[in-house]
Amino acid sequence: MSSNKNSKVDPRIIRTKRMFKEALISLLEENVDKSKLTVQSIADRAELNRATFYLHYRDIEDLMEQIIEEVLAEMSNTITPSPVNQQSIGKGNRASGSRLISFLEHIHQNAGLYQVLLENKEFRKRVFGILLDIVSLWGEDRKAKGRSFKVPNEIIVSSSLGIVSWWLAEGTPYSSSYLAKQIVRMV
């Protein structure tokens, strides 16, 4: 799905971009302070030349944005699995409620990365949008059953995001299912 066999992308490009991305992520996860996060340090970590960086990215921010796009795509796939390998676990529509758990599970398994990325304003905005979709669907489900949320969806989403950020900052002290329970309880 992501890149079929007919793609004529030079394998060197794929390898190089992957290495720069992994390099930046590893540096970010090590909490390298901003002043030492230079193109040179990223190139060193990637074991590539500094000039090569500029063949693929405008600047560090550009690389960051591309990483964000990939991570968001992965997140969306995790929450809403592609129709092909949909596990269709009976129970009719598993969509709304349990998506929150999928979301938290996915974040839990990439805690270090998400802790760093959630510092990024644009990333938070995008995740907010994804969460808002989940909560909206969920809200419609509840509405159909006669129950409804007591507070606006945006408040549910922003508070959930706040909880997740704290959860990550504290080293994910609770399991994702317990956290989901607490969030649901608050709604």
Q: How far is CA 72 from CA 44, 55, 79, 118, 187, in A?
A: 27, 24, 11, 12, 25
Asked if residues 56 and 16 have their Cβ atoms less than 8 Å apart, the reply is: yes
Of 33 and 47, nearer to a second copy (C-beta) is: 33
- Check binding of 22 to DNA (CB under 7 A): no
Q: The tokens of 97 are what?
A: 């409620």
* C-alpha to C-alpha distance for 60 and 36, rounded to whole angstroms: 12
Q: Would you give the binding string for a second copy spanning residues 147-176, x where CB under 8 A is met?
A: ---xxx-xx-xxxxxxx-xxx--x------
Q: Which one of DNA, a second copy, none is in contact with 26 (Cβ closer than 5 to 8 A by kind)?
A: none
Of 19 and 130, nearer to a second copy (C-beta) is: 130
CA angle at 158 for the pair 78 and 75, rounded to the nearest 5°: 10
Characterise 80 by phi-psi region: left (phi > 0), alpha (psi -120 to 50), beta (else): beta
- Check binding of 185 to a second copy (CB under 8 A): yes
Q: State which of residues 26, 44, 50, 78 lies at the interface with DNA (CB under 7 A).
A: 50
Asked if residues 160 and 151 have their Cβ atoms less than 8 Å apart, the reply is: no
Terminal Cα-to-Cα distance of the chain (whole angstroms): 37
Q: Which one of DNA, a second copy, none is in contact with 150 (Cβ closer than 5 to 8 A by kind)?
A: a second copy
Asked if residues 43 and 34 have their Cβ atoms less than 8 Å apart, the reply is: no
For the bound state, the minimum distance from the C-beta of residue 186 to a second copy, rounded and expressed in Å, comes to: 5
Q: State which of residues 29, 44, 52, 142 lies at the interface with DNA (CB under 7 A).
A: 52
Q: Would you give the binding string for a second copy spanning residues 106-145, x where CB under 8 A is met?
A: -------------x-x------x-----------------
Q: Which residues bind DNA (CB under 7 A)?
A: 8, 10-13, 15-16, 38-40, 47-52, 54-56, 58-60
Q: Which residues bind a second copy (CB under 8 A)?
A: 119, 121, 128, 150-152, 154-155, 157-163, 165-167, 170, 182, 185-187
